[in-house]
Amino acid sequence: MNPLYKWVGSKRAYLDTIKGLMPPTHNTYHEPFFGGGSLYFDLEPRLALISDANKHSINFIKALAAAPNDLIDQLTTTVGHHNSVSKPERRRLFETARAGYNQRNAQGWTLIHLELAAAFYGLVRGAFNGMWRVNANGEFNNPFGDGKPLLFDADHFRSASKLLARTTIRNVDFGVAIGDAGEGDFVFVDPPYFETWNGYVAGGTFGVPEHYRLQRVCGDAAKRGAKVMVTVGDHPYLRSLYKGWRLVEMERNQQMSGKAEGRKKEVDIVLMGGYE
Ligand SMILES: C[S@@+](CC[C@H](N)C(=O)[O-])C[C@H]1O[C@@H](n2cnc3c(N)ncnc32)[C@H](O)[C@@H]1O
């Protein structure tokens, strides 16, 4: 199955390489940096634990698992309305929805919030480059995108909901999530790129302290018998941190730079621990 929305840093383009490097068998599937969940949706695992620090995407995913019909009904109406009006009117609807989302978010809320879930989908689909991006205050601040009709496929949502309904979905830090991986489990670890953009979460940075902590929890999971795969941008610090882990390089097309000259080839590395 395809993911439900685009997500910055998604590993969709490398699924074949990643799948070729997975262990041949495993117990529970864990994805602690879920984002748009491209590997999860492709694999459709029977038993899975997925999580992300981003409350908004997890709220959407939980709402779809718990109340698919309500979410689909709401989106059928709002997306249908959005797609029936002119481009300037779509922009106005997007900007009103963004302001409304930020206002409601500032008041505090708990998972599962159905209206925010529906609004999240419209915003992430309608925003520039389909990106969820927040400022330091946690406000969604990505501008309106290309104004094309919003994609929404109710059947895809229904299939995704059935898959999600048999999955444990959490809004937790990776330390908690990876700490639950046990012997024979497979953990797919896809953190934000080293010392670059981390606008997924307010005040987010993912530099040396986070990667150091991540390696520790991944190493502990591998020692418990879990099979751990980590995908990161190639960097000498990360290579030294994962010394002794099996390493495979994959070429990446820079997706975060808007400028043509910035679209140089970069290298990602896949690091594997706890299995051959
Ligand atoms: C590279 S993206 C994951 C992309 C995903 N694998 C996909 O295919 O769509 C990294 C994710 O890490 C999440 N994240 C950032 N800091 C985190 C933390 N401390 N714990 C858990 N998730 C975190 C972000 O919200 C983001 O969704």
pLDDT in tens, 205-254: 788 899 999 999 999 999 999 999 999 999 999 999 999 999 999 987 65
Ligand 1 mutation pick, 200, 212, 229, 232, max ligand atoms within 8 A of CB? 200
Q: Is 80 exceeded by the pLDDT of residue 264?
A: no
Q: How far is the CA of 34 from the centre of ligand 1 (A)?
A: 6
CB-facing half-sphere around the CA of 137: CA atoms within 13 A: 8
Confidence of residue 184 (pLDDT cuts 50, 70, 90): very high
CB of 37 closer than 6 A to ligand 1? yes
Quote the DSSP letter at residue 260: G
Q: Is 90 exceeded by the pLDDT of residue 168?
A: yes
Mean of per-residue pLDDT scores for the chain: 92
The two structure tokens encoding residue 222: 């591998």
Could you report the per-residue pLDDT of 126-167, keeping only the tens digit for each?
A: 999 988 988 888 899 999 999 999 999 999 999 999 999 999
- The second-level CATH assignment, the architecture, of 62-157 is Orthogonal Bundle (1.10)
271 forms beta bridges with 230, 247
Contacts 24+ apart (CB under 8 A), 249-255: 250/14, 250/17, 252/13, 252/14, 253/13, 255/8
CA separation for the pair 219, 189 (Å, rounded): 12
227 forms beta bridges with 186
Percent of the chain with pLDDT over 70: 92
pTM, rounded to two decimals: 0.93
CB of 36 closer than 6 A to ligand 1? yes
Amino acid at 147: G
Q: Where in the chain is the domain with CATH 1.10.1020.10?
A: 62-157
Please, what sign has the CA dihedral across residues 22, 168, 109, 127? positive
Closest to 78 in 3D by CA, of 62, 63, 94? 94
Q: Where in the chain is the domain with CATH 3.40.50.150?
A: 12-53+172-273
Could you report the per-residue pLDDT of 53-94, keeping only the tens digit for each?
A: 999 999 999 999 999 999 999 999 999 999 999 999 999 999
Confidence of residue 29 (pLDDT cuts 50, 70, 90): very high
Chosen CATH of 12-53+172-273 out of 3.40.50.620, 3.55.40.20, 3.40.449.10, 3.40.50.150:
3.40.50.150
The helix, strand and coil proportions of the chain, stated in percent and rounded to the nearest 5, come to: 45, 15, 40
pLDDT of residue 205: 77
CB of 9 closer than 6 A to ligand 1? yes
